[in-house]
Structure 1
């Protein structure tokens, strides 16, 4: 599979809640990098990192709506461009932001890492304050 095909299949598995299938796309030493300024920031490691991160992140939000704007890929990378609309549980504020998820693939075709880029992390932190 190309990075684009693998990413599409992985995101389809996330949407279906099939976390075993999601883990199959990940390298053993897979790592997700979230901005450290966010309450769920830092490195998340392991083939189950995306499941653990997803569960943790969604603990901060109600009524999430994720719209896939585009998924692009090359030989070693795939980039998902997302529009994220949520309500902060702590404040009740509804807001939206843009996110780019950059996934790097290893030589075996497995997902080696993912870097999450938010348009404005300060805004996200501000929305979380009651």
Structure 2
């Protein structure tokens, strides 16, 4: 894995956290994303499904932002192979409606091309904990 790929990934994660936690704009993340980027999310989540391109990512982030207003990474570990990176993340999310904080972990399979992110495939450790935190909002 090149340093450029790691810089891209760390830059994206920082911009994503700033978007959810501090109200930063999408532009901070867009510079790390390929024009045809795809986000795959578990269908059971309120922001589930496939989100394609920058417009799709804006839609995903708006949907995710409607559920969460805080994101903090407590630990991240990276493993790479060619144009793929697997990221283990342990962190916390704060539910927008209830203020409940859920601790969780996930693995992400992330693809790259020409130094930009082309796809995200997250695998949550416990989607039921995520859904339970969001259910408190109803």
TM-score past 0.5 threshold? yes
**Distance between the aligned counterparts of 1:121 and 1:79, measured in 2?**
19
From 88, 97, 100, give the equivalent of 2:95: 88
- Counterpart residue number, 2:6: 4
SS at match of 2:54: coil
CA, structure 1 residues 18+74, in 2 after alignment: closer, same or farther (shift >3 Å)? Answer: farther
**Distance between the aligned counterparts of 2:110 and 2:125, measured in 1?**
17
Gaps of 5+ in 2: 19-23
Instruction: Summarize deviations over 1:59-104 as a string: whole Å, max 9, x none.
Output: 2134443324223333211233222323334455432110222211
**Distance between the aligned counterparts of 2:48 and 2:112, measured in 1?**
22
RMSD: 2.6
Gaps of 5+ in 1: none
* TM-score of the two chains, using structure 1 as the length reference: 0.76
CA, structure 1 residues 72+32, in 2 after alignment: closer, same or farther (shift >3 Å)? Answer: same
- Counterpart residue number, 2:74: 67
- Counterpart residue number, 1:114: 120
* TM-score of the two chains, using structure 2 as the length reference: 0.72
User: In the alignment, is residue 125 of structure 1 matched against residue 128 of structure 2?
Assistant: no
Structure with more contact order per residue of length (Cα contacts < 8 Å, sep ≥ 6): 1
- Counterpart residue number, 2:54: 47
